[in-house]
Amino acid sequence: MVKLSQRVKALKPSATLAVDAKAKALKEQGIDVINLSAGEPDFDTPEPIKEACIKALKEGFTKYTPSPGILSLRKAICEKIKKDYGLDYCPEEVIVTTGAKQAIFNLLLALIDEGDEVLILSPYWVSYPEMVTCAGGIPKVVPTSFERRFEPELSTLETKISPKTVGIILNSPSNPTGLIYSKDFLLGLAEIVEKYNLWVISDDIYDKLRFDLKRPENILSLQPKLKDRVFLVNGVSKTYAMTGWRIGWALGPKEVISACVKIQSQSTSHATSFAQKGAEAALKTPEEEIKKMAKIFAKRAEVLSKALKEIPGIEFIPPQGAFYLFAKVSAYYGKKTSAGKIINNSVEISEYLLDEARVAVVPGVAFGEDEFIRISFATSEENLILACKKIKEALLRLS
């Protein structure tokens, strides 16, 4: 038998993709499942974006591109960052990647040496710890609390820093909570970053899906003097409903971006040529079109919040962005199903809801918080209301 590497043995499969796959498998069997596990908008990619890609294909734009991405797209990304955040970048400080996930992976491979520690705030997107581990680093989780809206005490965060700590990963609006870090927190964190000479990966993939419709912000827009140590990651997946197109990017100091280009040239070479043309068209989408989608998600968040309030024992903080709600369901732990099985954790309650209510959610343990489940509201209001009704009925059957 072929021996697997210790690196791959240490990795866990994506819980979100696993739940989504199980829900889709049940649907293929003819079983009606309301899928609230998906991490992608339910809208179709806008027609002008698709047309730009088709045009590129028809014109034969199907060959290799430069590893960091086509120049016109990198220029468009710089213009977007200037418009959204007021920050100046040049194309040499940009790499286009096969999704934002690869942008983060490239950065971690370029920045981490074996045994380096990276701070990750809990709850976190499922892939952060695994990517740090795969790059040879040690993910160091910073605890937060429901009571503090999942925003850690800066003093607590500082105690997690050791001589081996090299950086921190941020995500706001957050997957899985849908919450936005406060300015006070980000400014306080900026002081810590400077004090300990840390780098920051700011995952801004949901930045335009803010329900207050305000201009996006991150640690660098609030503290521009950190430009030599902050890396901005984004992409077209969420804002433009282009998850399957796999186009993301990272911006940062030239020497690190050049290192990422070197890594990418030896892995995927570059992002898909004609998909890059589609992404370029996406960045020209009028702001009002983007706000329309944000408004729809905001309305769905209200509908979901109202329906969840009708379920005894469930606690949550109404989301401020993205399309997720993180619901505390631990009040039902210790309760028994009709088959006599006791629910003990977020995996078991998620399995119970899929089996009994035919509603797919993601267990919170995948995000570092076992008392919770993540509910995606990237679906219709009707589905959300029906799903909450089914969840309520299933939970009240527990004894």
What three-state secondary structure class fits 139? strand
Pair of tokens at residue 188: 């306080």
Q: Would you state the pLDDT for residue 24?
A: 80
Q: What is the dihedral of CA 318, 321, 323, 325, to 10 degrees?
A: -20
- Residue 211: which of 253, 180, 233 has the closest Cα? 180
3-state secondary structure of 250: strand
Q: Which residues contact 164 (CB under 8 A, 6 or more apart)?
A: 115, 116, 117, 138
Residue 394: which H helix or E strand, with range? Answer: helix 381-396
Q: Which residues neighbour 182 within 8 Å (Cβ) at sequence distance 6 or greater?
A: 151
pLDDT at 15: 66
Report the predicted TM-score, pTM, of the whole model to 2 decimal places. Answer: 0.95
Dmax (CA) of the chain: 64
Which tokens is 360 given? 């797919």
Q: How far apart are CA 38 and CA 381, in angstroms?
A: 15
Distance, CA of 353 to CA of 348 (rounded, Å): 9
Contacts of 369 (CB under 8 A, 6+ apart): 122, 123, 326, 346
pLDDT of residue 30: 87
- pLDDT digit of tens for each residue in the chain (399 aa)? 899 988 888 887 776 667 777 778 888 888 899 999 988 999 999 999 999 999 999 999 999 999 999 999 999 999 999 999 999 999 999 999 999 999 999 999 999 999 999 999 999 999 999 999 999 999 999 999 999 999 999 999 999 999 999 999 999 999 999 999 999 999 999 999 999 999 999 999 999 999 999 999 999 999 999 999 999 999 999 999 999 999 999 999 999 999 999 999 999 999 999 999 999 999 999 999 999 999 999 999 999 999 999 999 999 999 999 999 999 999 999 999 999 999 999 999 999 999 999 999 999 999 999 999 999 999 999 999 999 999 999 999 999
The domain defined by 6-44+288-393 folds into Aspartate Aminotransferase, domain 1 (3.90.1150)
53: left (phi over 0), alpha (psi -120 to 50) or beta: alpha
Rounded distance between C-alpha atoms, residue 273 and residue 53, angstroms: 9
Report the CATH architecture of 63-285.
Answer: 3-Layer(aba) Sandwich (3.40)
Domain positions in the chain are: 6-44+288-393, 63-285
User: Burial level of 227, CB count in 10 A (0-12/13-18/19+)?
Assistant: middle
For residue 134, the model assigns a pLDDT of 94
